[in-house]
Amino acid sequence: MLELLIYKNSLEQEYNMKLIPEYRISKREIELNAQMPYVIATNNPDKVHDHFLGDLHFALQICIIIEGEFEAAYPDSDNFCRRLEKGQLFISSVWEAHAVRELSHPSKMMAISFSIENLGFHGVEDDELNWFAPFALHPSLRPYGETSESREKILEIAENIDFMNKAKPFAHKTKIWLKILELVLYLSEIVPLPKGVVRPQPIERIIQAVLMVQNAAGTGYPTIHECAAACGLSRSRFSNIFSSVMGFSFGRFIVRSKMSKAARLVRNSSSPFKEIAAECGFCDLSSFHHAFRNYFKCAPGEFRKNASLLKDNII
């Protein structure tokens, strides 16, 4: 499930991050599966704004600058920011808060979101290839398209995807997915790794645990011991591999998953907060309110009130 959520944190005060019409997020839920492993959205702001808009979702995302300039920020990574020009891109991992704003006009950005479980070619073993490597690194270490050669390559793939997404030629969905994989493979090849930085482990080692957490509800959230056993690993080995692959700890992943689900239920339903707390694995309403405010910097009631202002427009 591709969950698009408004993310409010320290960036809101530091950068005056708020909702603006050009960046309103869709309230619809998009099912990502083997038949439709991706979704593509294009952003054409009508003018330059100083505001950031942030979101997080259970999906991988690549945002490519087609025209103009943008700035991307990662609140959970020391508010790391990166200015981006035509042909460059920024990527986000699952449930990783990120924000963006346009810096020039006219500007255009393509956002490609796709499911983590469908990444790569299943059944093909290659010890040299790690599809998830670019996403697991700290944002400061990820590839952005630093050279003119890489920008030409990124733009070529983006324009090809954009054309097929609009023209819809024969087998366009398959062709687009292959182009997305080509892009991820290219990013895996050019990812800059400073001395002493080790490539993350293959995601296949812990994908079963990721899916267990994704499908959990209520008191059914798995423990680290259960996930380690499902992946055929010891607890310590699983913990090390999980942090290497995902770029954060298993405990942090559980928190992100619970808060992502909580925000979706608060935003899209009128259910009492006590029911939502139980559905998201919180032992009582007080701990739910505390966790929600700590994560989103606002109370659930305030979040629901603000979310009611959103329109059903895609990014």
- When pLDDT is cut at 50, 70 and 90, the band that residue 122 belongs to is low
Q: What is the pLDDT of residues 138-163, one digit of tens each?
A: 899 899 999 999 999 999 999 999 99
Length of the chain measured in residues: 315
Q: What is the pLDDT of residues 189-206, one digit of tens each?
A: 888 666 666 666 777 788
- When pLDDT is cut at 50, 70 and 90, the band that residue 4 belongs to is very low
Instruction: Using alpha carbons, select from 59, 182, 178, 73 the residue that is nearest to residue 131.
Output: 182
Q: What is the pLDDT of residues 51-70, one digit of tens each?
A: 777 777 778 899 999 999 99
Amino acid found at 288: F
**Cβ(112)–Cβ(40) below 8 Å:** yes
Q: What is the pLDDT of residues 18-57, one digit of tens each?
A: 433 333 334 345 567 777 889 998 888 777 877 777 777 7
**Cβ(113)–Cβ(28) below 8 Å:** no
The secondary structure of 27-50, three-state, reads CCCECCCCCCCEEEEEECCCCCCC
Q: How many CA atoms lie within 13 A of 6 on its CB side?
A: 31
Question: What predicted TM-score, i.e. pTM, was given to this entire model?
Answer: 0.72
DSSP state letter for 30:
B
Q: Domain 5-190 falls in which CATH fold?
A: Jelly Rolls (2.60.120)
Among 196-205, 244-253, 299-308, whose mean pLDDT is lowest? 196-205
- When pLDDT is cut at 50, 70 and 90, the band that residue 298 belongs to is confident
Q: What average pLDDT score do residues 301-312 get?
A: 63
CATH number for the segment(s) 203-307: 1.10.10.60
**Cβ(100)–Cβ(52) below 8 Å:** yes
Phi–psi pair at 79, nearest 5 degrees: 55, 35
Whole-number Å distance between alpha carbons of 55 and 3: 9
Q: Do domains 5-190 and 203-307 have the same CATH topology?
A: no
Among 13-17, 70-74, 241-245, whose mean pLDDT is lowest? 13-17
Each domain of the chain, given as residue ranges in start order, spans 5-190, 203-307
* Average pLDDT across the chain, whole number: 80
